[in-house]
Chain A
Amino acid sequence: MSDTARTVAGRAFTVADTHPGRRISPRGSAFDYAFQALCFAAATALLASLGGVLISLAIGGWPVLSKFGFGFLTGKTWDPVRDIYGAAGPIVDTIITSLLALMLSLPIAGGVAFFLTELCPSFLRRPIGTAVELLAGIPSIVYGMWGLFVFAPVFAAKIEIPLMGMAPPGSIWETLLSGIPNGSGILSASIILAIMILPFMAATLRELLNTVPPQVRESAYGLGATTAEVVMKVTLPYVRRGAVGAVMLGLGRALGETMAVTFIIGNSHDFPKGLFDSGATIASTIANEFNEASGLQASALIALGLVLFVLTFLVLALARLLLRNPEG
């Protein structure tokens, strides 16, 4: 064995020696260079288009940003008639609905993923897995229509009206549960968002849990750990980094989701007073008004797009930061 290796090395050396200055390229190397060049081009094109988006958003939003400055982020008035634009309402609503959606869907997504990898009988694994992936393929307008015409009436009758009736007058609950009880509003939008980001997070988490080597998991079971203990103490810590990534992907999708939210959130630019009150996210405001906008209003909508871009970037940066200090 070592003899063969030596011979091969010797032969290579001889060849290189007799033709100095000429490199030996393995067969198919031309394709390899092309492949590398293509990959490089793809990566740089992505970076360039991202930069292009950022620059064109900044240019398009400049008239409004220069006119209102920091007030664009803190102002509460959105008045297309008088050309006064403050985006505080949509920014706050975007963050509230996305976080609520994450809080609602993370436990379920985790449950689905753990069930599929740890508990599910193998004949059920494939159908449930496929169902989760199919959910991810439903267009968002369908979620919006379903939310408005099917979910909202039921939600109003079964959840909103009873809850509002139960809230003690004068308590914080009364404020929190205030709004128009017709199934639209902040909480409804968050629930629809949660359903929409669920399949992404569940599918990614499942893939992650599948990467845990069977030996690790089996050793834990072998030591007498229960399923819950294996999940909490062994597999989850093993995939922690990836799991944060999956959650951030879900959050990113929730931040930018447009159509479904537009249908159900109630589209009011004021700060919401309660969970059932109307709101408006950044994406829904753009979707609502961009078609007919011109002048400063169009600029304000583009500036909103820039804000969303930065917000998403901050979320990703935060995710990176969390991953960098595993002890923290």
Chain B
Amino acid sequence: MIKTIAAGLAAALAITSVASAAAISGAGATFPAPIYNKWAETYKAKTNNQLNYQAIGSGGGIKQIEANTVDFGASDKPLQPADLEKNGLVQFPTVIGGVVPVVNLPGYKPGQIRITGRVLADIYLGLIKKWNDPVLQSWNPGVRLPNLPITVVHRSDGSGTTFLFTSYLSMVDPKWQAGPGASDAVNWPVGQGGKGNDGVAAFVRQTVGSIGYVEYFYAKQSNLTYLTMQNRAGRWLEPTAPAFAAGAAGADWTKAPGFYLLLLNQPSPTAWPITGATFILMHTRQTNPQAGKEVLTFYDWAYKNGDAEASQLDYVPLPASVKALVRKLVWPKIDGPNGKPVYP
């Protein structure tokens, strides 16, 4: 009796494992999870192939792909070439995002107040304490800024958003680089921390005179008052989808070893200064070439057909030039056990 059950169970298990062979799994960053899941849904409707993505955070995604428990990992920050080399990984970008400073100043329109990277750093260092500070006022000649204390709001959880924001501040301000520095989580000199984009937005909404930073798609969907920023070329820009795309298109990906490229502070005159891409991590030597091929088939499909859905969810699609480079430079490096590329 028990033997029969065991045999039946084994048979059932065998069947499920065969049936799920087409399913590919990934884990990592929370920022691109909505678009990966949307793409997976459409892809399944078209091809009947399943992709499971678990949004466990970039750190978790890196750990999982290093341990080879998933077919691909996802991270909001690129891995250093040395780390890629050490773990036998390659990376490629999928969609673009970025960070937008937002404020709560009643009576001021979105984009009406201008800010530079250095002023932003001084505010987050606690050196500029009032909105009508002479330095801030000098960048806003046509606007009378209020005599209000500035309340600084930052992310409390470790996040790719904070990594981009603090990396940018480190680039433009030596004081910031020598002080808090750049990471997923830093030792903030001033201010209070909200959990997630929601938490930051809630504190900003509830505090007159506050400043915070959120993901672009979140700023767009939540109607917060964003600031106009000066980019590296000296132009004043509002955070718009083309400004983020310009940050990615203007970057020289061919000169970035391992595609390690932060899109921050790009020289292009139309590029938003705090731009970043989110990345997929894969092993160069696939132990299961079929799964590797499925993953690349999926992202090739998403590159070709996924831009409209990405824009609907307020992500910025990759420029065609970058997609072509990924196809040419990254994907051929992903081999099966026989040393031949798994895709196409």
Q: In the docked arrangement, what's the CA distance between A288 and B183, Å? A: 14
Asked if B180 CB lies within 8 Å of chain A CBs, one says: yes
Binding site for A on B (CB under 8 A): 56-60, 62-63, 151, 156-159, 180-188, 191-195, 199, 202-203, 206-207, 210
Residues in B whose Cβ lies below 8 Å from that of A256: none
Residues in A whose Cβ lies below 8 Å from that of B60: 291-292
Our pick among A79, A182, A267, A297 for the contact of B207 (Cβ within 8 Å) is A182
A294 to chain B, nearest CB (A): 6
Residue contact B193 to A278, C-beta cutoff 8 Å = yes
Residue contact B192 to A266, C-beta cutoff 8 Å = yes
Query: Interface size class for chain A?
Result: 35 or more
Q: Give residues of chain A (44-102) contacting chain B, Cβ–Cβ below 8 Å.
A: 77-82, 84
Our pick among B63, B180, B193, B199 for the contact of A81 (Cβ within 8 Å) is B180
Q: In the docked arrangement, what's the CA distance between A262 and B151, Å? A: 19
Residue contact B195 to A263, C-beta cutoff 8 Å = yes
Residue contact B59 to A81, C-beta cutoff 8 Å = no
Residue contact A79 to B186, C-beta cutoff 8 Å = yes
Residues in A whose Cβ lies below 8 Å from that of B58: 292
Residue contact B56 to A291, C-beta cutoff 8 Å = yes
Given A182-B151, A289-B157, A294-B63, 20 other A-B contacts at CB below 8 A?
A80-B183, A80-B184, A81-B180, A148-B202, A153-B206, A180-B207, A184-B192, A262-B195, A266-B203, A267-B192, A267-B194, A267-B195, A278-B193, A287-B157, A288-B157, A288-B193, A292-B59, A292-B158, A292-B184, A293-B59
Our pick among A153, A180, A181, A292 for the contact of B159 (Cβ within 8 Å) is A292
Take A266-B192, A267-B193, A292-B184 as given contacts and tell me if A152 and B156 are in contact as well, using a CB distance cutoff of 8 Å.
no
What are some 28 contacts across the A-B interface (CB < 8 A)? A79-B187, A81-B180, A81-B182, A82-B187, A148-B199, A148-B202, A153-B206, A180-B151, A180-B207, A182-B207, A184-B203, A262-B195, A263-B195, A263-B199, A267-B156, A268-B192, A268-B193, A278-B193, A280-B193, A287-B195, A288-B195, A289-B158, A289-B185, A291-B157, A292-B58, A292-B59, A293-B59, A294-B62
Residue contact A293 to B158, C-beta cutoff 8 Å = yes
User: Which chain A residue lies CB-closest to B156?
Assistant: A267
Residues in A whose Cβ lies below 8 Å from that of B193: 266-268, 278, 280, 288
Asked if A167 CB lies within 8 Å of chain B CBs, one says: no
Residues in B whose Cβ lies below 8 Å from that of A181: 207
Residues in A whose Cβ lies below 8 Å from that of B186: 79-81
User: Which chain B residue lies CB-closest to A81?
Assistant: B181
Residues in B whose Cβ lies below 8 Å from that of A82: 181, 187
Q: In the docked arrangement, what's the CA distance between A266 and B156, Å? A: 8
Q: In the docked arrangement, what's the CA distance between A181 and B195, Å? A: 18
User: Which chain B residue lies CB-closest to A157?
Assistant: B206
Asked if A199 CB lies within 8 Å of chain B CBs, one says: no
Asked if A149 CB lies within 8 Å of chain B CBs, one says: yes
Asked if A156 CB lies within 8 Å of chain B CBs, one says: yes
Q: In the docked arrangement, what's the CA distance between A288 and B158, Å? A: 6
Q: In the docked arrangement, what's the CA distance between A9 and B257, Å? A: 92
Q: In the docked arrangement, what's the CA distance between A82 and B180, Å? A: 9
Residues in A whose Cβ lies below 8 Å from that of B207: 180-182
Residue contact A152 to B202, C-beta cutoff 8 Å = yes
A85 to chain B, nearest CB (A): 10
Asked if A206 CB lies within 8 Å of chain B CBs, one says: no
B80 to chain A, nearest CB (A): 13
Asked if A183 CB lies within 8 Å of chain B CBs, one says: yes
Residues in A whose Cβ lies below 8 Å from that of B192: 180, 184-185, 266-268, 278
Q: In the docked arrangement, what's the CA distance between A77 and B180, Å? A: 12
User: Which chain B residue lies CB-closest to A78?
Assistant: B187
Take A180-B192, A262-B156, A288-B185 as given contacts and tell me if A294 and B199 are in contact as well, using a CB distance cutoff of 8 Å.
no
**Which 6 A-B pairs rank lowest in CB-CB distance, beginning with the nearest?**
A292-B158, A267-B193, A267-B156, A291-B57, A81-B181, A79-B187
Q: In the docked arrangement, what's the CA distance between A268 and B151, Å? A: 13
User: Which chain A residue lies CB-closest to B151?
Assistant: A180
Q: In the docked arrangement, what's the CA distance between A188 and B145, Å? A: 31
A205 to chain B, nearest CB (A): 33
Residue contact B194 to A80, C-beta cutoff 8 Å = no
Q: Give residues of chain A (144-184) contacting chain B, Cβ–Cβ below 8 Å.
A: 148-149, 152-153, 156, 180-184
Our pick among A180, A263, A291 for the contact of B158 (Cβ within 8 Å) is A291
Residues in A whose Cβ lies below 8 Å from that of B157: 287-289, 291-292
A258 to chain B, nearest CB (A): 11
Q: Give residues of chain A (263-307) contacting chain B, Cβ–Cβ below 8 Å.
A: 263, 266-269, 278, 280, 284, 287-289, 291-294, 297
Residue contact A291 to B194, C-beta cutoff 8 Å = no
Residues in B whose Cβ lies below 8 Å from that of A78: 187
